């Protein structure tokens, strides 16, 4: 005869508290996404999508890149361009989509019972593969639309956001991550780690949103 034990009050409160953290994190993410979307669309309305450039030699180089056999082959193909774009989206899911779980752990909103180092080790190999796929496919997409991207203010906003996100990640790895032993098992990491997670989440969300507005502005 099996005996079933009802969850204790402490266990029930623990589960409720954990789901409350996750719910708060998702709500905060939704609000941040809406605010970022509003900001990007505001920029799209205020700043012309086609900026032009005084850097004519660079613009001419982009034009030549787009007019190469590879560039024309990608943009004119009915299958190749959407296939590359599809793998680009898969790369985003594997990189930013997975990395957000580390960001939520750093913010103390998810996986609070697991060491940060454990979450980092599980997330980073997948994220690295995802980023590799993103930049490879992104390079081919730029190859096909180099001149259009160069003339788009959305493209330069996206490039700037990627650079900021990269600097944030580099600072975390070289500085913040070195002291992880002191707060590895803390449910709520120190402020510097929470800020790194929050900034990463906001910047990469901004990159995705700006990438979509860039596509619709072409």
Q: Taking 90 as the threshold, does the pLDDT of residue 168 lie above it?
A: yes
pLDDT surpasses 80 at 19: no
Most confident of 8-12, 17-21, 53-57, 87-91: 87-91
Q: How confident is the model at residue 208 (pLDDT cuts 50, 70, 90)?
A: confident
From 110, 93, 203, select the one nearest 159 (Cα to Cα).
Answer: 203
Residue 152 pairs with which residues in a beta bridge? 50
pTM (whole model) above 0.85: no
Determine contact, residues 130/92, Cβ cutoff 8 Å. Answer: yes
What letter does residue 53 receive in the DSSP assignment? -
Average pLDDT, the chain: 82
pLDDT at 1 over 50: no
- The answer to whether 103 and 200 are in contact (CB under 8 A) is yes
Tokens of 149: 């991207």
Asked if 91 and 137 touch (Cβ cutoff 8 Å), the reply is: yes
pLDDT (0 to 100) of residue 59? 82
Among the listed residues 22, 45, 90, the one whose alpha carbon sits nearest the alpha carbon of residue 216 = 45
Res. 182: pLDDT tops 80: yes
């Amino acid at each position: 005869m099996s005996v079933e034990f009802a969850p204790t009050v402490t266990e029930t409160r623990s589960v409720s508290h954990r789901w409350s953290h996750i719910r708060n994190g998702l709500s905060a993410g939704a609000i941040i996404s809406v605010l970022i979307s509003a900001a990007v669309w505001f920029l799209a309305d205020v700043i012309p999508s086609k900026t032009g450039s005084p850097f004519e030699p660079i613009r001419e180089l982009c034009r030549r890149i787009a007019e190469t056999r590879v560039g024309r082959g990608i943009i004119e193909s009915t299958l190749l361009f959407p296939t590359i774009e599809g793998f680009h989206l898969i790369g985003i899911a594997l990189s930013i989509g997975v990395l957000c779980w580390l960001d939520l752990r750093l913010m103390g909103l998810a996986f609070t019972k697991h060491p940060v180092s454990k979450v980092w080790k599980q997330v980073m190999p997948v994220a690295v593969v995802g980023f590799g796929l993103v930049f490879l496919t992104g390079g081919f997409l730029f190859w096909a639309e180099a001149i259009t991207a160069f003339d788009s203010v959305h493209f330069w906003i996206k490039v700037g956001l990627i650079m900021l996100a990269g600097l944030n990640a580099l600072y975390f790895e070289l500085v913040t991550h070195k002291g992880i032993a002191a707060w590895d098992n803390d449910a709520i990491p120190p402020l510097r780690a929470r800020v790194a997670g929050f900034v990463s989440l906001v910047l990469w969300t901004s990159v995705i949103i700006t990438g979509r507005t860039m596509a619709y502005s072409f």
